[in-house]
Amino acid sequence: MTLTKALFSALNIPFKVEYIEMPKVLKDKYQYLTRADVAKLRKAGYTKEFTSIDKAVSDYAGYLHDKSYL
């Protein structure tokens, strides 16, 4: 949902999402949460802040727009 909201915002589209029931055949096969584990990166010495998803999506949408993909 975070990515969806960021994309709608970056494209200046009113946020509207309609939820539908997950098909039972997929319910036990779907990955509901993804999250990067940055522990190894930090352990290797990387200390910089990460770009927020809102900023990253906005930058990427701007890039696509500038390249006439949108």
Specify whether the CB–CB gap between 8 and 15 falls below 8 A: yes
What are the b/e assignments for 19-54, b being 16+ CB within 10 Å?
Answer: eeeeeeeeeeeeeeeeeeeeeeeeeeeeeeeeeeee
pTM of the model: 0.62
Range of the domain at 45: 2-66
Name 2's Cβ contacts closer than 8 Å, sequence gap at least 6: 53
Residues of the chain above pLDDT 90, percent: 46
Q: What's the number of domains the chain is made of? A: 1
**Please, what is the average pLDDT of the chain?**
88
Q: Does the structure show a pLDDT above 90 at 31?
A: no
Residue spans of alpha helices (H) in the chain: 2-10, 24-27, 39-43, 53-66
